[in-house]
Amino acid sequence: QVQLVESGGGLVQAGGSLRLSCEASGGTFSHALLGWFRQGPGKEREFVAAIRSSGVNTYYADSVRGRFIISRDNAKNTVYLQMNSLKPEDTAVYCCAAARMDSSGRYVYFKSSYAYWGQGTQVTVSS
């Protein structure tokens, strides 16, 4: 059974940093697209970042580009999200997601491209 477990969320002041981790078990994801999504209070779940299997190609939402960095360690079946210069509007539950295969282009932004999801970790940014 595939499981994705996030960690690293918490409460941080505006301008601070957090590093989220997501470890996958029950399968090998070195060949797959991995991503992060978030859902703020009263909002729809939205794309944050994605990374292709090689780790070379990354994609970001405009709202986080230049502040967040996605990376992966295929040997550990883990994907990371380094979040810097955090803003109150970044407050949300952050979920990692894994596709069944690698992908590119516009497909990386779609929730439907991902087959497996974690439960999420809360990130709260105070002003």
Model confidence pLDDT, tens digit, residues 18-70: 999 999 999 889 999 999 999 999 999 999 999 999 999 999 999 999 999 99
65-69, 103-107, 109-113: which has the minimum mean pLDDT?
Answer: 103-107
pLDDT at site 5: 97
Rounded distance between C-alpha atoms, residue 56 and residue 126, angstroms: 33
pLDDT band at 86 (very low <50, low <70, confident <90, very high): very high
pLDDT at site 104: 87
pLDDT at site 28: 83
Q: What is the mean pLDDT of the chain?
A: 96
pLDDT at site 1: 85
Residues 24/1, Cβ–Cβ less than 8 Å: no
* pLDDT value at 115 more than 90: yes
